[in-house]
Every structure is written in structure tokens, then in C-alpha cells.
Chains A and B, each alone.
Chain A
Amino acid sequence: MTFAYYPGCSLVESAREFDVSVRAVLERFDVEFQEIPDWTCCGASAAESVSHLMNYALPARNLAIVEREMDGVDVIAPCSACYLNLLKVDREVVGDRVLHGKVNEVLAASGLSYSGGVRVRHLLDILLNEVGAEIIRQRVVDPLEGMKVAPYYGCQILRPYSVFDNPRQPSSMTPILEALGAEVHEWDMGARCCGASLMATHQEAALESVAAILSAAEGAEAVVTVCPMCQMNLDAYQPQAVRVGGRRVPVLYLSQLMGLALGMSQEDMLVGQTMSVTETAKKRMRDKAWRVQEPSGESAEEPVGADG
């Protein structure tokens, strides 16, 4: 099965490590994909606050290209906001004759039109339902045994449309993390909002959310996410969030962690691009320091029973 790949703006800007790791992981699982030619911005969560029509026309443009030039294959969107915006066209435009007509009138300005047959899927959906936990388990060469990971889903892959996971208690990352050999950190912050663009407009509110999420990750070796906005908020603003009650913890993309378990290096997965990953954290991941019982102890290499 071939997919149309929609990276979205973040993945070619500040979240390049997400793009690089997603491509590497999909290739490793023989998922064929092709980038949508000449794709443009989906409008993120800003379009709706400016123009009702562009909110639908921007994502529809990309689907129109897939429909016309890629035989209407399914789309993979790794970014949550992109995913929701593309999905919204399917749920809100297709079937609404008046709105659909207007959206096509806007698209006509670029010589395009969209009739509505393209299915939009999130990366997590593909990993879970097309690749599957069993295949993932089989390909793991460097299991993350004993590593406690907090799965962070954010908002827009879960809400308002629940497609492949429960928006109240999401769990779609659990089988994947377990297939990697990791332990799932139990918490109830997985679906809590990170503040999204309030980080730019009303930082005090967003920082409070980020601090609450980070402090709930206590005991986890890393937080993993599948959204560039969530990652940015939890990662880059960590120094400020720590000042209002958060904790320091590496915030990685799920695909980066998968890449590591599949035997790819930290350099290949651009782990060094992540601001919350300190040199110590990198070393811990390399040495699998979490296997040692004492989390703060020196790297005791001796197996149990070797001393005394």
C-alpha cells in the first residue's frame, strides 16, 4: 500500500527531527510513501481564527492534489494539527453542499477542485493498524527494556473526532511502546492540552499546563509525543516551566524512540536537536542506565549477585 505523505510546515522547519525519524521508521517497516507534490500549509490552528473559508480551503488544496495527481491514495499526516485540518475537510465540507461549493470556488482560483475521496490518517493510526505491534516487536533489535516512557497524545489527534483512539483515555501508543520493550508510565496527563499557540499569545496560561504535564511525568525516563506543537511546548519552554513547578524530562518524538529501538543511532534520529535531552540523558539512553535499580546511582555494570 502506498501513501501520500504530508509533512506539514513544522516538519520542514523546527521539527526536522520528526520528519527525519518518521521517514526512517516508515521505510524500515516497508511502508511506501511519496511526499505530496507542491503541498502547502494546512492553516494550523490559526486559520479558523481569521477566515472561515481558508480554514477549509487550505487543507482541501492538498487533498485536491492527492486526488488529481496521486490516484487518491490515503494520506499520512504526522502532525496533529495538520491531521485534524485535513480530516475536517472530510467531516465538515464533504456532504455540506453549500460549503463544499464555496471551498471549490476558492480552490478554482488555483485551478483545483476537490470531490472528496481521500482518506486522511495519522501516523499513529498507520503504525498501529497498518504496521501493527507484532511486526514492530519483530524488528526491534535494541529493546528499550525497563525504560519507563510517558505517552503524551495532546489534543487534536483525539478530538473532536475519535477515529482510532479513545479521546478520554487514549492508549494507542501503549502497544507500540510495549513492542519496543519499554514500560508505560501510568498517568492521566496524556490527553491534557499543552496550551498550543497560547505559548505565543498568553504564555502564563500555557506554562501552567506544561508545568502540570511535566511534573506528572515524574519517574518517567522520557515523555514521547507525536505532535510538533506539543513537543515544542514541552521541550523548548521547559526552563520556564520548571520555574512554575515543572520537572526536567526529555521530550522525544515516538518515531525517534522507535528508531533507537530499531537499531538506528541517536545521531540518525537527530536526538541532539531536542533541547530537553541533556548530555546525561543521551548517555543514559546509550548505556540503558534505567536498567539499574537506583535511578541516580553510578552505572553499576555488575549483574545481580556478582558482588559479595
Chain B
Amino acid sequence: MTQVAKEAWSPGGAEYDAVLSELRDMVQACMQCGTCTASCPNGAFMDITPRQMWRMVQFGMIDEILDSRTYWYCSSCYTCTMRCPRGLKLTSAMAALKRLAQLSDGAGRRNGAFYSSFMDNVETYGRTQETMLMQNYFLRRRDPMLPLKFLPLGLRMLGKGKLHPPKGDCKGRLGPMFARAREMEGRS
């Protein structure tokens, strides 16, 4: 049975398959009541409702799911998780979808640019360095208009003394842990 189910999905690497099976386990018990959709503060911006998304995961409609923008609009507020009558960890499922998308193609990587920039920042500096994080994010998005959108805020933060050059106190401290986790998760 597992083999049949597996073939319904697009081929991917070991990490991709692992996330996928984790995701299916997470929402297997969804009974389609729609409480998650009704609870989501960002629902109006999603193209597929959260309820529909879990059904699609159950059906193995991976390509349609990854093309959707729904999971990118999850702000991790945990309202759906708290209210789910089946006790499913739906916020974690949204995060798993973000991981899956970043493992697949260019669009997924571009959409996940903020999260991956954040983790690179942590890996490099040990503690988040906000100024460097935003720079890295802008570079990854390759959208010349994006920095302009944040420029007025940047200037006001500068005026309030809220921006600092990166500190090196914990630099490299997390490198070995990141390397080990990558190895264990089968990522390159």
C-alpha cells in the first residue's frame, strides 16, 4: 500500500521523501471540518483554503500543493493547531510544506528566501544579526524593488540607533551542529 501511495508523488531526494511522509502522517486524521480555515487570520490571502490543502495532501496532489501560495501565508499563530478537534499539528504541517517547497524548485527557494536567510544568519553568527539578515534576504530574492520598500523603515531604525554592524561574539558557534543536522537530514 505504501508503494502505491508513494508513486502518486513526484520523485525527490531522501529528505524530500522524509518530509512528505512526515506531512502525510501529520494530516492523515483530518476529517475536513474546516475549523482551521475558519480560524486562520491570513485566510483571505490564500488561494487554497487550509482545509482543502490537507485533503490534497491526503490525495497526494503534490504539484498542485507546491504551486499554491497558501502555506507561505501561514504566520505560525497556532490558532488552527489549538482549535483542531483532531489535535493535529497543523502549524507544523504548514512549516513542513515550506520545507518541501524549498527542496523542490526555484520558486520554492525564492519564496523561502527569508527563512533560509535567517538560518544562514544564525549559522554564521550564532545570534541573529538583523542588519545582515535583511541584506542577505534582499540578495536572495533578487528583487531590486524590495530593499526600497524597507528603506524608510531602515532609516528610521538607524535614527533610533536600532541598527548595528554584526557582532562576532558567538560567530561560528553553531557551525558543527548545523553540519551534523544537515548530514542527518540528508541535505547537501
Contact = CB atoms under 8 A, between A and B. Distances in A.
B162 A273 contact: yes
A109 B170 contact: no
A216 to B, nearest CB: 13
The 3 closest A-B pairs by CB, nearest first: A159-B78, A193-B77, A9-B128
A176 interface: no
A126 B162 CA distance: 28
A200 to B, nearest CB: 5
B80 to A, nearest CB: 9
Contacts of A43: 119, 122
B75 A206 contact: yes
B161 A203 contact: no
B37 interface: no
Contacts of B134: 200
Contact of B112 (A49, A159, A200, A239): A49
A40 B174 contact: yes
Nearest to B69: A202
Interface string A191-206: 0110111101111111
A105 interface: yes
A106 B81 CA distance: 27
Interface residues of B, number: 61
B114 A46 contact: yes
B162 A193 contact: no
A155 B78 contact: yes
A60 to B, nearest CB: 10
Interface in B90-143: 91-92, 95-96, 98-99, 102, 111-112, 114-116, 118-119, 122, 126-130, 134, 137
Contacts of A44: 118, 128
A49 B128 contact: no
Contact of B185 (A12, A46, A51, A208): A51
Given A50-B102, A105-B184, A160 B45 contact: no
A48 B178 CA distance: 14
B177 A196 contact: no
B27 to A, nearest CB: 16
The B interface is mostly helix, strand or loop, or mixed, namely: helix
Interface of B: 19, 22, 41-42, 44-45, 72-73, 75-79, 81-82, 89, 91-92, 95-96, 98-99, 102, 111-112, 114-116, 118-119, 122, 126-130, 134, 137, 149, 152-153, 156-157, 160-164, 170, 173-174, 176-182, 184-185, 187
B76 A196 contact: yes
B44 to A, nearest CB: 8
Given A49-B95, A110-B174, A206-B75, 13 more contacts: A12-B127, A13-B129, A40-B173, A44-B128, A46-B114, A49-B115, A106-B180, A155-B75, A159-B79, A195-B42, A198-B73, A201-B114, A273-B160
Nearest to A46: B118
Interface centre among A13, A53, A55 (most CB of B within 10 A): A13
A40 B170 contact: yes
A49 B98 contact: yes
Contacts of B160: 272-273, 275
Contact of B161 (A40, A167, A206, A273): A273
Nearest to B19: A52
A96 interface: no
